[in-house]
Structure 1
Amino acid sequence: MNTGREIRWPAAIGRAGLVAFAVLVTVTKGVPGGDGRYFVPVAVSALVCGVVLLVPRLHWPVAPLVVTAVTAWWGALAISLLSVLVLDLAVARRLRAALACCAVAFGVNLVGFSPTRFLVDQAYVSMLVSWSFAIVIGLWFGNRRRLIQALAAERDHLRLEVQLREEAARVTERSRIAAEMHDVLAHRLSLIALHSGVLATRSDSLPAPVAERLGLLRTASTEALTDLREVLGALHEPDITQGDAALAPALKDVQELVEEARIAGQPVDLTTQGQPEQAPTTHRLAVYRIVQEALTNARKHADGAAVAVRVDYRTPATLVEITNPPGTSVATSVTSGYGLIGLRERVSALGGHLTAGPSGAGTWRLAARIPHPAAPAQNGTLA
């Protein structure tokens, strides 16, 4: 992050060069007529002013006092030194102090050392031009410095805000994944408890050890279901019930999602290879969410465009690809991009990769590849 000290004008080297130039000009002017009688006092005064102008701790209020006093005494010889001081004060938004230094130096000089008065050889003309120019340039650079500071602070604020929103999107997606897995596991455990309970009712025709094992299985599945709901149930949003279909997309097929979009008037072409059962449940959840996000984005940004959906559940990886050309109109221009961030988080957690962007001729493409978990083959090698 850029601080005010880092972007302060003039920069350290440039400002030191400017002060050195002003000191050199003053010393050079200290040899009027070539006799050099003012050389030593003028040179010492210029060097003292150069020191107070260069040392940061002396910028205020020592530098204004010393430079103003030297200019009031030496008059036209020290115009460049006071110009540097006025420039510094204008950059620091001390315009009143700059004008006061100019007025004091000019007023005192009129009654001070007569050989170096501003009225001699009309030196007051160059005085007015130099100090006015220094004030204008100083105000301009000061405003530029403050603008850069404001823009840098705004940039850092926006960057932090984007990071926080992205992190919130990731956390939300992780919570949604956990909630969906809760529903899926609860469904499977409920089936185990149900079937084991049905078999337990027929324990009279089963051997005693088998009947005992069935009873233990039913009790364990029921307790596991209760524990699962207690631990993960808090992840559900309070206004959504357990029976809401949106919380159990694995129990719905992508075909149903496509049919809903077609009923709403969105042209969708679905191509499916393999059976959903060939892919893990987590993959089916991810495919459902990816297709859902792609259809939603197509309605927002390419209304009326035909959407092509291709899903492949077969090994070695679950593939999903959604493409659409530009639409006839844009339904909305409001976009956040955090839906894609959540999808990338979900796909990355499964070891996959998701891409989204233009694919030529204005076509938009959203695709993901999620590798299936490796399973040992019968001959001891990996499938």
Structure 2
Amino acid sequence: MAVVAVRGASLQPVLDVAVPVLLGVLSVVQLVSEPPPGDPTLLTVCALASVLPLAVRRRAPLAVTVVVAAGIVGQVLVADGAPATFASFVATMICVYTLVREARPGHMAAGLGLLAIAISAVTVLQARADPIEPFEFVYPLVYFGAAGALGALVRQRAQRLSAAEDRARALETELQREAEVAAADERARIARELHDVVAHGLSLMVVQAEAAEEMLGRSPEAAGVPLRRVQETGREALGEMRRLLGVLRTPADATPSTAPQPSLRRLPELVQEAADVGLRVDLATEGTPVDLPLGVELAAYRIVQEALTNVRRHASARHACVRLGYGTTELRVEITDDGRGPGPGDRPGHGVIGMRERAALYGGTVTTGPAAGGGFAVVAVLPLEVSAR
């Protein structure tokens, strides 16, 4: 559809010039083959004046109408009442169409009024050579009325299309704004949770350091274990702190909680919550489970939590499956269900946007779409650096 519109727009200037040139040629041919009385040169000038200005009719419809009307009346005057060329008649119909299609209401009324006067003047001038028949007043109304009706129809259709495009652009802008707001809210929530993760890690460091201090006096060799744990926890806390500095948070949430955030060990609780509302969830693990950085583990938990929430709210599913795949370089989290996914034209909801924000924070991805065996699937891949505890 867009290609057709572009081609139509590129052909319009060519047609704007080609139509008056063709009518000009027809006028000259008619004047040469059937010369009316009067000065041939002046007749040719008036005939060309009534058709050639159509090349700029879209930019100045009222001015073109004035020139065309003057050219038609001039032809009849010079020819002592003989009819104007057929091309001039076609040019008048084009003027009526263009006025109704393109002109502002005031210019439209003025142009149509001028054409009515010109046509009436031509009819009266022609009556000097032949008696006026009633039909001579009727047929202009029919032809020119048809041209005006076509112009009005095209104008109304163009206005409807323009209004539809404006509504589509406004809807697109609103959807984009909502997506940005949802992403900002999710980043603020992630910032709060990362703050809690860092606080929890620092608390562990203090406890391990105190334990190491006590062991140094009794058994210096045994103090190495808590000291190494302090190093590992410190590195994790520093990594989460760097991420925290890159995430927005709102001033209203300046007082964080010091409680540890949930981890993958609490997935059975999510499964039980789903079972309480009638959704059976299977939990499967592939590979060898390893200890993960706290932030990665929190992100995986929140992705599973949001995916199961979407299944309960929107999918009308009865069964879902959560699979955790532990690899050497990544953690793969897959949530599938037997319900119905979003339609072809549906946009990602705020929950999907939130999952993608969490995965992107750790350099991961979240993909959604129809599952292989039916239903819907959410697959998150989180790169990780495994920490040996």
TM-score after normalising by structure 1: 0.74
- Post-superposition offset of 1:307: 0.8
The equivalent of 1:365 in structure 2 is 377
* Residues 58 and 371 of structure 1: CA distance in aligned 2, closer, same or farther (over 3 Å): closer
- Contact 1:272–1:310 at 8 Å: present in 2 too? yes
Amino acid paired to 2:273 = E
Separation in 1 of the partners of 2:258 and 2:313? 25
The residue identity in structure 1 corresponding to 2:249 is: L
Alignment of 1:255-334 (within 5 A): 255-273=268-286, 277-326=290-339
- Return 349-358 or 71-80, whichever deviates more: 71-80
Check whether the contact 2:46–2:75 (CA below 8 A) recurs between aligned residues.
no
Q: Verify the 8 A CA contact 2:99 2:112 in the aligned structure 1.
A: no
Q: Aligned pair 1:70/2:71, yes or no?
A: yes
> How far apart are 1:34 and its partner, in Å?
4.4
1:85 is aligned to: 95
Which one of the candidate residues 226, 235, 242 is aligned to 2:249? 235
Partner of residue 60, structure 2: 59
Question: Deviation string for 1:318-367 (max 9, x for gaps)?
Answer: 1111111127xx9xxx9852321232232233233322111245321111
CA distance in 2, matches of 1:243, 1:73: 91
CA contact (8 A) 1:352 1:368 kept: yes
Q: Tell me the residue number matched to 1:23.
A: 24
* 2:113 pairs with 1:103: no
The corresponding residue for 1:346 is 358
CA change 1:260–1:19 in 2 (3 A) is same
1:259 match: secondary structure: helix
> What does the per-residue CA deviation read over 1:193-236, in whole Å, with 9 as the maximum and x for residues that have no partner?
344457668998799xx9xxx9xx9xxx9xx99xx8x9899826
Corresponding residue number in structure 1 for 2:267: 254
Q: Is the 8 A contact 2:359 2:382 kept in 1?
A: yes
For residue 269 of structure 1, give the secondary structure of its aligned residue in structure 2: strand
Identity in percent: 30
Measure, in 1, the Cα distance between the counterparts of 2:311 and 2:17: 60
Segments of structure 1 that go 5 or more residues without pairing to the other structure are 376-383
What is the letter of the counterpart of residue 134 of structure 1?
Answer: A
1:187 aligns with 2:200: yes
Aligned match for 1:141, one of 154, 157, 180? 154
For structure 1, which segment, 59-68 or 285-294, has the greater mean C-alpha deviation from structure 2 after superposition? Answer: 59-68
Q: Can you list the C-alpha shifts for 1:40-84, whole angstroms capped at 9, x where unaligned? A: 333212323444332369715422222222233436423222111
Offset, 1:139 = 1.0
- Work out whether residues 294 and 366 of structure 1, in 8 Å CA contact, stay in contact via their aligned partners in 2: yes
2:73–2:121 contact (8 Å) kept in structure 1: yes
Query: Which stretches in structure 2 are left out of the alignment for 5+ residues?
Result: 77-82
Q: CA distance change for structure 1 residues 353 and 203 in 2, over 3 Å: closer, same or farther?
A: closer
Which whole-Å CA distance do the structure 2 matches of 1:190 and 1:117 have between them?
A: 111
Q: For residues 34 and 204 of structure 1, do their structure 2 counterparts lie closer, same or farther at Cα, with a shift above 3 Å needed?
A: closer
One-letter code aligned to 1:11: Q
**1:184 Cα deviation from its structure 2 partner:** 0.4
Distance between the aligned counterparts of 1:349 and 1:264, measured in 2? 32
Cα offset for 1:190? 1.8
Select which of 170, 177, 186 maps to 2:183.
Answer: 170
Matched, 1:157 2:170: yes
Alignment of 1:29-48 (within 5 A): 29-30=30-31, 33-34=34-35, 37=38, 39-48=40-49
Aligned-residue offset at 1:276: 6.1
Closer, same or farther: CA 248–374 of 1 in aligned 2, 3 Å: closer
Look up the SS of the partner of 1:315 in the other structure: coil
Give SS of 1:278's match.
coil
Q: Which residue of 1 aligns with 2:80?
A: none
Following superposition, the deviation at residue 251 of structure 1 comes to: 8.1
Q: 1:141 to 1:27 in 2, by over 3 A?
A: farther
Structure 1 residues 179 and 42, CA gap change in structure 2 (3 angstroms): farther
- Give RMSD over aligned pairs: 4.4
Q: What is the distance in 1 between the residues matched to 2:124 and 2:67?
A: 18
Do 2:190 and 2:247's aligned partners in 1 also have CA atoms closer than 8 Å?
A: no
Contact 2:335 2:378 in 1 (8 A): yes
- Residue 268 of structure 1: SS of its match in structure 2? strand
Closer, same or farther: CA 52–374 of 1 in aligned 2, 3 Å = farther
Sort the Cα spacing of 1:73 and 1:135 in 2 relative to 1 into closer, same or farther, 3 A. Answer: same
TM-score (norm 2): 0.73
Q: Distance in 1 between matches of 2:165 and 2:17?
A: 26
Distance verdict in 2 for CA 1:52–1:8, change over 3 Å: same
Query: Offset of 1:267 from its aligned partner?
Result: 1.3
Report how far residue 306 of structure 1 moved: 0.8
Which residue identity lines up with residue 367 of structure 1 in the other structure?
Answer: V
